[in-house]
Structure 1
Amino acid sequence: MTTSSPPALALDGASIDGGLYTDVTDFARHTHWLNGTAAAYSSVGMGVFVLILLAAWWRARRAGNAAMTTVLATPFAVIIAYAANTAIKDVFQEPRPCRALPHDFLIEACPPVDDYAFPSNHTTVAFAFVAALFLVNRWLGSVALLAAVAMGASRVYVGAHYPHDVGVGALVGTVVSLIVVLAARRFCRPLVSRLGDGALRPLLTAAPRA
């Protein structure tokens, strides 16, 4: 019986920055007081970005159709960024660091073999929110950026990803989100304007009728 060979493009993440990953997880080994908080944020922290998006929607009601179009396009940008990132994962099929470096400290349980590491889905989604939110409001975008950096750091801290998984995930999320949102602002803004004159007006604008 023959065994299948690994894909030609499979990444050996440990050879890229495995040493830095080990440094971070060793830090986690000696900071047990932070482990629970980091694990919780790594798991459910995406809710923070939903709350920030709701705040952006509330502000956008007073900021005009371009801002509201951006807010409405953000969920689509996040979904498309996630899909693109998943496709990249399937191409490179980088094993999780918990398999390449099994003796390193681990907080989050090691995922199944076919749940690949490169790039980080959590980080991609977080930075997709950030890119869109900056186009609505710089202050909210800055808050989201801090939350996204914390999310990316937490994914390495809990042992789920190498640092380069997080860096490339941030790049994928930012680029895809900007493309989707800027396209929506160009082509969908008239539609949002028309909807703002109809039954959805209270949801789309706080401006008084002319």
Structure 2
Amino acid sequence: MTSQFDAGLYRWVTDLAQRTPGPLDETVRFFSDYGLAVFAVLMLVAWWRARPANAARMATALSVPLVVVVAYLVNDVIKSLFDEQRPCQTLHTVTVETCPGLGDWSFPSNHTAIAVAAAVALLIADRRLGWTAVPVAVLLAASRVWIGVHYPHDVLAGVVVGVAVAWPLTVAARRAAPAVEQLRGSRRLGPLFGRAPAGTATGGAPPLR
């Protein structure tokens, strides 16, 4: 599939990147390629912060990496259905990132779907961490166009996929609170799941901070 309705915006962004100092472009490229690691760190922090909280909050914190995997799989299925070539292949523009080869499909953006799914899930699991994750996800999504590997509509579609997958799944994860409470009673696994303070309810929505 070839879709170039936003090719002009894509060219404007990539031309601007070519006029930008090299060190800045390299920083954006590095962040675009490896910035997903930020979300892995935030997931670990969310788990740690949920250990003294109620079981529902721990359930949502534990669901974040699973939600990200589901978002990636859903996005990859959609990508295989559309078969859109990368814009740097179709438009033959000079880009910051080496252009992926033919058959490395562009629509929707996997990086964006993963980042947005992680940010949304973290926002539900731990509001404070979520408001850190959201701007990181926005910057990472924009960087995919800046380095030349995605059209703007690829990124927007990735945002839609990330939100559509992460929001309902993370909310539904609260229902796993009873299972988490049982695991908290395990001698071996209990420390991994933490224990709620005395008098803390195990059900209901987790407190957001």
Look up the equivalent residue of 1:68 and give its one-letter code: M
Corresponding position of 1:168: 157
Q: Which of 72, 75, 78 is matched with 2:62 structurally?
A: 72
Corresponding position of 2:207: none
Question: Following superposition of structure 1 onto structure 2, how do residues 1-210 of structure 1 map, counting pairs within 5 Å?
Answer: 10=1, 12-14=2-4, 16-31=5-20, 32-102=22-92, 104-186=93-175, 188-198=176-186, 199-207=188-196
Name the SS for the 1:95 alignment partner. coil
CA distance in 2, matches of 1:171, 1:165: 10
Deviation of 1:190 after TM superposition, in Å, equals 1.1
Instruction: Check the 8 A contact 1:28/1:105 in 2, yes or no.
Output: no
User: How does the TM-score come out when normalised to structure 2?
Assistant: 0.89
Look up the equivalent residue of 1:181 and give its one-letter code: T
Corresponding position of 1:3: none
Deviation of 1:50 after TM superposition, in Å, equals 0.6
Instruction: Check the 8 A contact 1:67/1:135 in 2, yes or no.
Output: no
Deviation of 1:184 after TM superposition, in Å, equals 2.2
Unaligned stretches of 5+ residues in structure 1: 1-9
Instruction: Check the 8 A contact 1:64/1:205 in 2, yes or no.
Output: no
Q: Deviations over 1:126-185 (max 9, x none)?
A: 011011101122221111001101110110000010111111101101111122222222
User: How does the TM-score come out when normalised to structure 1?
Assistant: 0.89
Instruction: Check the 8 A contact 1:77/1:176 in 2, yes or no.
Output: yes
Look up the equivalent residue of 1:190 and give its one-letter code: P
Which aligned segments of 4 or more residues in structure 1 are displaced greater than 2 angstroms? Answer: 206-210
Deviation of 1:74 after TM superposition, in Å, equals 1.2
CA distance in 2, matches of 1:119, 1:41: 19
Corresponding position of 2:206: none
CA distance in 1, matches of 2:138, 2:83: 24
Query: What fraction of aligned residue pairs are identical, expressed as a percent?
Result: 44
CA distance in 2, matches of 1:68, 1:112: 42
Q: Deviations over 1:22-47 (max 9, x none)?
A: 11101100112311101100111111
Instruction: Check the 8 A contact 2:115/2:140 in 1, yes or no.
Output: yes
Deviation of 1:110 after TM superposition, in Å, equals 1.4
Number of equivalent positions: 197
